[in-house]
Amino acid sequence: MVGSYRGKWAAVSGYVEEESDKQAYREIWEETSLRGEDVELKSKGDPIAVVDQQMETKWIVHPYLFEVKDPSRIRLNWEHVEARWVKPEEVKGFDTVPLLYETLEKVLKQRL
């Protein structure tokens, strides 16, 4: 989605190239330098279809919620220019990728 939504706020994301759980950890590592032991899975939601009418594209989002054990260890890669900790309801005030808040709501309701 990097090429598609430049300048928009987003979560760590990527294309599913392997089993979705493994891919989630891989994307976290690629985009933040955090390893599996640096995060704790809190919630996993059912895949969500996100349709972008303007781009005529349908994304299948596999939502996850992880807790970062030590935020000072985060090192963003080239895909991100900024990271910010916000309360879930504050996400609605940001210019985000499609359905970011709605996806967040689903994983917050399904905490492990």
Query: What integer best gives the mean pLDDT of the chain?
Result: 90
Q: Do residues 33 and 104 lie in contact, with contact meaning Cβ atoms separated by under 8 Å?
A: no
Average pLDDT over residues 83-109: 92
pLDDT score at 1: 47
- CA–CA gap between residue 4 and residue 88 (Å, rounded): 24
Q: What percent of the chain has pLDDT over 90?
A: 62
- CA–CA gap between residue 38 and residue 25 (Å, rounded): 10
pLDDT score at 69: 97
Confidence class for position 3, pLDDT limits 50, 70, 90: low
Hey, what's the torsion of the CAs at 91, 48, 66, 85, to 10 degrees?
-10
Confidence class for position 100, pLDDT limits 50, 70, 90: very high
For the chain, which domains are there? Answer: 20-109 (3.90.79.10)
Q: What is the pLDDT of residues 37-79, one digit of tens each?
A: 999 999 998 899 988 888 888 989 999 999 999 999 999 999 8
Q: What is the pLDDT of residues 76-88, one digit of tens each?
A: 999 888 999 999 9
- As to burial, measured by CB atoms within 10 angstroms (0-12 exposed, 13-18 middle, 19+ buried), residue 41 is middle
